[in-house]
Every structure is written in C-alpha cells, then in structure tokens.
Structure 1
Amino acid sequence: MMQPLMTNMTSSGNLTLSIVIPVHNGGESFRHCLDSLECFAAAAEITIVVDGGTDTSEELAQAFSQTARAQVLKVPQAGGPAKARNLGAQASHGDILFFMDADVTLAPDTLEQVLAAFDRQPQIAALIGSYDDAPGASNFLSQYKNLFHHYTHQQGSEEASTFWGACGAVRREVFLAVGGFDEAYRYPSIEDIELGYRLKRAGHSIHLCKQVQVKHLKRWEAFNLLRAEIFYRALPWTELLWRDRQFVNDLNLGTSSRLSILLVYSLLLALVGSFWWLGALGIAGIISLTLLMLNLPVYQFFLKQRGLVFTLKVVPWHWFYYCYGGFAFAIGTLRYHLFSKRNVPKTQLSQA
C-alpha cells in the first residue's frame, strides 16, 4: 500500500478533493475508468479500494498507482461497496470526498463542476450528479436504462432527497460525523440512498448538480437488470422507505410514477377482465392512452435522443418497469410490516 497523497485538486476557495473508487471484478470498464482519471492524477488524491475479486482489477489499480501516484487499498475478502468506500474515505484527506463507481468515466469538467458547486454553495453538505446521455454499452436495455436514469436526474429537484454513490460528493467531516455508509449492505444496493436519508435527517443539504455528469459503461441484459432492480434496489428501498418514512415526491418516487403504477395494474385487470366482458377492452384502451399522456415527456425525450423505433421499444419496457416496481413495493411493504420492523445497524466511522 502506498502512502496517502497530500497533493489534492484545489478550488478557488481552497477546497481539496479526494476521489474514492471501490472495485470488485471491474473488468474492461475499470480500465476505461482509470484512463479517464489520468488527466486528474497530478492534481487529485485518488484512493482505489479493491474489494476482493478474481480478475485483474488489483493489477490494473497497482499499475495505475505507479504512474498516477494513487493509493491502492486491498480488502482480501469482498465486503461490499459500502465498506470499501468507508475504507477509502478514512484513508483520504480531501475536504471533499468524491465517490465514483468503477464502471463510470469522468467528463473533462466533472471534478471542476463539483468543486465549483461547493464553492458557490457553502451551505450544501453533499451533491450528486447524473449519467450523461451517451451510455457506453450500445445494446437497447443499456441505452434505455442509462438514458432513463439521465432523464430522471435531469428532471429532478435540485434540492435532492438522497445521495448517489456512482457520482456523488460529500464534505469529509460531514460524512464521518454521520457514520459513513452502512456496511450492513454487503452488495451494491441502496447504501447510498440510506446515507442520503441520514444526511437529510441530520439537517444537511444535498444538491442535485445537473451539470456534473459521468458516463456509465455497464452493459445491462434482462436478467442482471431485473435482479438488480428488484432484489438489490426495489425491495430494500421499500423497507427503507417504511423505516424512515421518506415518501418524497422526487426522482423515482414522483407522483407520476406512483400514479403510473396504479394505471399499469388497472390495465392488467382490464385485459384479464376482457376475457369475460369485451367492454373491458375499451377501458384498457382509455387506461393505455392515459399512461401514454402521463409519461409523454419521457417518451418525447427518448424520441429526441434515439428516434421513433427506439421509443416504441421503450414504451413496453417502461410499463413493465412500473409493473415489477409496484410488485416489489407490495412485497417489500408486506415483508417490512410482518418481519422487518427494526432499525438497520449503522457503522460508525471514527474521525481519521
């Protein structure tokens, strides 16, 4: 392990910034991530935490550290991104901790925008950005998922209600004071959302800075997308929502999304009912038209970005997203009220 760097990226307000990246079997995406960091290597403190794994991620990180003067921490057995990020934060020294995933790349102005935001708004404790509108993987699901994420963040309230670990920054003293990420989350899940809720509960402000953008390289296929969306996000997020009562009208929890879930299930009931009563097909048509109109801004965005054919493929996936999201919310609600009425333990970080 190399000694921590003391040469950090600085802003006009003399804030210093440290980059923290957890990686577990990062593959080729991690290589591209490191390539995007090269131009910041001389100015920023970079801490890479290799969280177990069986591929060449550690070798890539070590080779990068020789030329970029980054420090590499190794966790022999994978403990999850929450634990890895906490270790990286403890080993870093910047006033601002910038967390990024190993499958994203920085834009030339990403870090400059981060520091500028903290300079302009000394009252904010943290900020999050978004994915850009040019995802790295070219297949339909990857383009759809990442563009939808971009759209959601670009339309969100600038007074954010949560944190985001793929492209998020927080004042180090605040991060340590609230206890860092909850290490009870052993897999990439909602550890960043949970941290955001604690930050808000402690009275801190989180800013959604829409100019801060990174490129997501992950390739989504149906199986890994549904597994991540349902088991790693929707179910634990539902339980967290009930635990903290954070039913805010923002990002994925907007009023239109909730209404769309009700409409999708009404549509399914109408289609099933049409086997017994043909008039239900007319009701299904009205519901479908209502769904289209309610989500028209989303489809206009996709039409502008990728054209008509792509947008026509988006619509059924988007409605399916509401379908499995609503189902996961119902199951998560039931599970919480029957089995999980407890507080998830939070790991407390000592001031380093």
Structure 2
Amino acid sequence: MLGTEKDAVTYSVIMPATDRPPTMDHCVQAVLHAADPPDEVIVVDEPAGMGPAGARNAGAMRATGSILVFVDSDVAVHEDAFTRIRAAFEEEPELAAVFGSYDDLPSIHGVVSTFRNMLHHYVHQSSGGVATTFWAGLGAVRREAFVAVDGFDDWRFRSPSVEDIELGLRLASAGGLIRLDPEIQGTHLKHWRLSSMLLTDLLYRGMPWTALMLDRGPKAARLNLRGSHGVAAAAFTLGLATTLLGRRRLAAPLAAAYFAINLRFYDLLLRRAGPGSAAAGVVLLVVHNAAALGSAPLGVMAFATDRLRRSGHRATRLVLH
C-alpha cells in the first residue's frame, strides 16, 4: 500500500449561498485560513432562489471528498474547526456525521441578535453527545452515508427550514452514528430582527418541526426538548394554560419553575452580554416559546397537507459520482 486509510480521506466544504449574502466572502476566507483546511471548497451561489437543501445537494454532486462538510454562508468557522472534525472521524471510524455549535461571541450585536445566537449556542452546548439529528450550519457527513439516504430532501424543503434535522433523522434511522461536538464552533454573522425571529419560530422552524415530530415520532424532538429544555417547555405550556384558565395559584409556581430552569441561560446572557441583554432575554425567551407553541396547530395542518401531497415523494434520487 502506498498510503494509509487516513491519507485517503478527503474533505469537501459545501457552502450554500444562492441568496448571495454579504457575509459569504468572510465565511469563505475563514474556511481557507483555518488549520487543516479542506481539500476543496464549493460555493453554490446559483441558481438564484434555490433553497439551501437543493444548493447543498448540488454542491455534494460536484464534491470529490469522502467527507462532506456543510458550512452556512453566515458562519465563520473557528480556526480549529476542521482539526476537530478530522479528529472526530479518525477516532470513530463508524461515525456517520458530526456537527457543532455557534460560539458565544456573535459578531452582530443588538438585543434580538444576541438573544437568538446565544440561545442556539446554549442548546447545542448543553446537548453534546450522540444525536439523532443534524445541523448543517457547521456539520460533516460521510459521503457514503449521505448518498445512502439520498441527501437533503430538497423536494419537501424548498426554503430554509428543518431540512438538516430531517436529514439527521434519516441518517440515524439507517443506523448511522451521529455526534454533536460542542467544541466544533463557528461565529454566527446573521442579524436578527424581532420580525425575522417570529417568522422563523412560527413558519420556518416551528411549523415544519411540529409536522416532522408527527411524522417521525419522539426522535425529532430530542435536540430542542432534551433534558431541562423539555421540562422548561412543559412548564411554559402548562403555565400558559393555567393562566388562560384563571388558575393563578397553579400558574405562579409553574412560572417560577420555568424561570429557575432557564437560569443558566439567563446567566450566560448576563456574563457574555451584560444585564440589559439578560433582562431582555427573559422576555424574548417567553416570546420565543409562545411562538413555538403557536406554531403547533400550524404544524398539524402542515402535516396533514404534506401527507396528501407526498404520494409521489422525490421522484428522482441524488446521484453522486
């Protein structure tokens, strides 16, 4: 043999950028200047309007690497991100996929941007280990595992949605081992407004995520409702229900429990962004949870509609050479 199996492993970064975001060049440079950089970087910036699922599949068709690393065009990878990704696959030959987290130093300031990016960081940092989901903001998949499940479902998810979560569910259902490694990190460069947060929570994440839970069962809930996150969601739902029913004696302890369960998140905001962001975070987390709860009936309707139109689901298969 002229080389080892390790030498034969190659890495392709695939970055969907069909909306041509202003952050794209910065994110590409972060990839190129990272330690242990990939063997190739593929930026999919056309056709305009193609969703991220379709763009990632298009990039995967062009890629030559045995490991496909998906990096969003608003995520600047940390210098050691690829070193950690390589180590994960080398240490566990059976690993099908690994993904990371946003860091706790978002470059875009502002109350809503800080809250949203820190919430994502907090959830991923407290959910490390074996996963049944995936995150394409900064995540890697073995090529053969990706092909075996036919890639991202670009028929069902034509706009930014939960296409990465759904891919992870199919990978896990096929027997693939997936890990969330909180040390694999990138800086999120996205600017959030309250309106964009609400739209995301209601229509782009909450509604399709509810439909996905109904379609795939409890596994679809394990990241966002894992451990204390699930308890907090239950406390919020019951607290809101008792408040609407006028049962204030029950609502008060549930509200206190909800606040106590989220103390670590509030403390993170306080330490990283100051008392103003922490105070705003208390309110914004309630808004976030209320929007997620409000998306549930929309998700039920989306699930029913999706069932009706999926009889010919994905007529063509992803073909990678």
TM-score by length of 2: 0.89
Quote the RMSD (CA, aligned, Å). 2.4
Q: Residue in 1 aligned with 2:296?
A: 329
Answer whether contact 1:261 1:322 (CA < 8 A) is retained. Answer: yes
Q: How does 1:239-278 map to 2 (within 5 A)?
A: 239-247=211-219, 250-272=222-244
- 2:34 is aligned with 1:36: no
Q: CA deviation at 1:283?
A: 4.1
Q: Residue in 1 aligned with 2:76?
A: 105
Encode CA deviations 1:110-138: one digit per residue, 9 max, x unaligned.
Answer: 11111111001111011111111111211
Encode CA deviations 1:60-88: one digit per residue, 9 max, x unaligned.
Answer: xxxxxxxxxxxxxxx2x422111111111
Q: Residue in 2 aligned with 1:144?
A: 115
SS of the aligned residue for 2:101 comes to strand
Q: How does 1:262-341 map to 2 (within 5 A)?
A: 262-272=234-244, 280-336=247-303, 338-341=304-307
Unpaired runs of at least 5, structure 1: 1-9, 52-74, 275-279
- 2:12 is aligned with 1:18: yes
Structure 2 CA distance for partners of 1:334 and 1:38, relative to 1, 3 Å: closer
Q: CA deviation at 1:273?
A: 5.6
Q: CA deviation at 1:33?
A: 1.1
Encode CA deviations 1:294-320: one digit per residue, 9 max, x unaligned.
Answer: 222222322332333321211111122
Structure 2 CA distance for partners of 1:287 and 1:28, relative to 1, 3 Å: same
Q: Residue in 2 aligned with 1:201?
A: 173
SS of the aligned residue for 1:293 comes to helix
- 2:205 is aligned with 1:238: no
Q: CA deviation at 1:208?
A: 0.8
Answer whether contact 1:26 1:103 (CA < 8 A) is retained. Answer: no
Q: CA deviation at 1:35?
A: 2.4
Encode CA deviations 1:208-257: one digit per residue, 9 max, x unaligned.
Answer: 11211111100000111111221111111111111111346632122543
Paired letter, 2:95: I
TM-score by length of 1: 0.81
Q: CA deviation at 1:29?
A: 1.0
Encode CA deviations 1:261-310: one digit per residue, 9 max, x unaligned.
Answer: 34334434554566xxxxx5554432221111122222232233233332
Answer whether contact 2:150 2:318 (CA < 8 A) is retained. Answer: yes
Paired letter, 2:18: H
| Percent of aligned positions that are identical | 32
Structure 2 CA distance for partners of 1:249 and 1:255, relative to 1, 3 Å: farther
Answer whether contact 1:238 1:332 (CA < 8 A) is retained. Answer: yes
Answer whether contact 1:156 1:250 (CA < 8 A) is retained. Answer: no
Q: Residue in 1 aligned with 2:139?
A: 168
Distance 1:138 1:121 in 2: 38
Answer whether contact 1:302 1:310 (CA < 8 A) is retained. Answer: yes
* Structure with the greater alpha carbon radius of gyration: 1
Answer whether contact 1:17 1:44 (CA < 8 A) is retained. Answer: yes
